[in-house]
Structure 1
């Protein structure tokens, strides 16, 4: 017998201009003390300023200095800010880091975390301490395709070890998600494209996981088809809002069941490359084709389906291998594909190997074949 945990998202508001529906959504839910989190660029934009103005007295705090990968010290500052302002909802607007920051702030406030080291007790590598109470509500407004808004997973970096740590609680899933392609049209195209590759990585790894489920596999294959078709187009034309919304929906489809069927080795390596300084979405551009080739003997049937979807999207009558088709798509997207572009030392890469293996039970537990540290070293060498 297996148990499938249904996603916890309660409401999705989508379409051009959907951001304007946020004040009414707060009122509907009886929330009137919002802490809003974003990155610096988005926080300085005209739509962001207009939103804060429209929310008026519903806003008790605004923080526009979210850092990539969420260093633990920064999260503790946000927890203190949420407490000091008496926030009753945390709104993350932006990419995965902003949305994860909202989840982590919610967790820290509700669990009364005062010491940064105590946060580790809520991470996968330290046992996931059971929650004592319901987290603060969160709302997510994504402007990238990293799909952090669809689950209760949140990442932060422990500066003492330089490792990325993961919290995973269904209760942290944002209850409301707002998909506004007019807002995400402002996202720099390189960031949009690389996080789209991240969504492709979700779809691939969940579709060939050892415990793959028909529900999630069907959604992942649908997501792969949409992204292979529309991501290159939106990389060139951010003003095609219909295509932009379809990409948001595909990112949703790629990760909606992750609490049941996990992502895998490409993500585990990517988490730690991210902690070493490689941008979040870029890690999948670097790792995915090599991980697919490593798993190909154990996932031949699934990868043949993927190859057909990818070949159709580029208008080819015959498909190459799935990994080769992914490489062709990455060429069209013009994304970074080599570790050497980021000047990581051999010592840093060995730390990546060790930290990846520390995620064996948490992230790569459903890998299609066993994974050793030497396998990870070989994949990193191929990606170098």
Structure 2
């Protein structure tokens, strides 16, 4: 009796030039050595306005960096509009910043990446910024200008679970078009990331919960990716286990530093190796919900991921079974309910919306959202055959 040998594993795995991750209580207080190592002496600190109201940003991070704070910018807005990018870059030039420190959620961290790009390429206008965006032309043709100029070091202290600190992607909103554009270059990823559960206690619980679902979305779409790899499969599955176990605990009790730290670790796992897989339609549509209507990315994941899974069930049956098993184990419910329904129940249990209408999205907006999604890089990489504008509008109606 003979058996046919299976093909050996073969492929390629690229790693972003992230240099260090500091994690655990107090991790954000030990950045001085990281600045010293990279010869950084004048930092522009970008901080979310809500965090700046809770703590003295300049005092806290001047101490953490050994007196290296040159200026603090708290004028950021969700989804990173052009005018905010240009204003922050202008401040960086005015104070002679030789490094950037982002403290906050995904929008603040994306703003830090954008400032680094502006400093490297001399960008001082929207027209100049546009030259670096990714352009997608259906059916999936992509133009991706890659910035090769030297970048000042970027340090990121994350206070949500959106995990933008681990990616090479910037989302910037063109408010004229009401659309979010993506910018990609491997060296957009911050050099040093700090995850400090103590600092994350200041994050509003609704924001913490919704960005936790964004991390769930990363993990699920990684598992469902047509380019899935063994390393990313293992980490995404473990991220999902940690999130479904510890996210509800950390939402109930912001002071539970163990649960918070477990969620932060899961957020990192959920996007590890993101350059090697493709995220999908839930992310692509959520970008445009944010750029056009201001829907937070985490809320976008809450209302879209279950419906996208239903729509792509034929092409992602195996990964969805894995997702269902993990959710069933964590929640004590039957895996026979399927991944989409188990996700909806988990999301609703956190007090978050599961339908577009619950997130304030009018049905009259769905056509415009579908149109903008056709130009989104992640939507173009979704599982299954290429989608048209009508397909995306159908998904939006199902999610409404």
Under TM normalisation by the shorter chain, which class is it? over 0.9
Alignment of 1:225-236 (within 5 A): 225-236=241-252
Shift of 1:374: 1.7
In structure 2, how many angstroms separate the alpha carbons of the residues matched to 1:234 and 1:339?
25
Range with greater deviation from structure 2 (335-344 or 288-297) = 335-344
Shift of 1:168: 1.0
In structure 2, how many angstroms separate the alpha carbons of the residues matched to 1:130 and 1:149?
19
In structure 2, what is the equivalent of residue 336 of structure 1? 353
In structure 2, what is the equivalent of residue 79 of structure 1? 89
In structure 1, what is the equivalent of residue 46 of structure 2? 37
2:225 to 209, 226, 231: 209
Range with greater deviation from structure 2 (23-32 or 362-371) = 362-371
Q: How does the TM-score come out when normalised to structure 2?
A: 0.92
In structure 1, what is the equivalent of residue 155 of structure 2? 139
In structure 2, how many angstroms separate the alpha carbons of the residues matched to 1:319 and 1:234?
28
In structure 1, what is the equivalent of residue 304 of structure 2? 287
Q: How does the TM-score come out when normalised to structure 1?
A: 0.95
Shift of 1:343: 3.9
In structure 1, what is the equivalent of residue 371 of structure 2? 354
In structure 2, how many angstroms separate the alpha carbons of the residues matched to 1:46 and 1:74?
22
In structure 1, what is the equivalent of residue 107 of structure 2? 97
Unaligned runs of at least 5 residues, structure 2: 1-9, 137-142
Shift of 1:128: 2.8
Shift of 1:242: 1.0
In structure 2, what is the equivalent of residue 195 of structure 1? 211
CA RMSD of aligned residues (A): 1.7
Residue 123 of structure 1: SS of its match in structure 2? Answer: coil
In structure 2, how many angstroms separate the alpha carbons of the residues matched to 1:266 and 1:158?
20
Q: Per-residue displacement from partner, 1:112-165 (whole Å, max 9, x unpaired)?
A: 112212211211127332324122210110000000000110111011211000
Q: Which runs of 4+ in 1 moved over 4 A?
A: none
Alignment of 1:288-303 (within 5 A): 288-303=305-320
In structure 2, what is the equivalent of residue 62 of structure 1? 72
Preserved CA contact (<8 Å) 2:41 2:68: yes
In structure 2, how many angstroms separate the alpha carbons of the residues matched to 1:295 and 1:380?
14
Shift of 1:287: 0.3
In structure 2, how many angstroms separate the alpha carbons of the residues matched to 1:343 and 1:15?
36
In structure 1, what is the equivalent of residue 5 of structure 2? none
In structure 2, what is the equivalent of residue 107 of structure 1? 117
Shift of 1:364: 3.0
In structure 1, what is the equivalent of residue 7 of structure 2? none
In structure 2, how many angstroms separate the alpha carbons of the residues matched to 1:344 and 1:314?
29
Q: Per-residue displacement from partner, 1:287-306 (whole Å, max 9, x unpaired)?
A: 00000001111111111111
In structure 1, how many angstroms separate the alpha carbons of the residues matched to 2:22 and 2:214?
23
Unaligned runs of at least 5 residues, structure 1: none
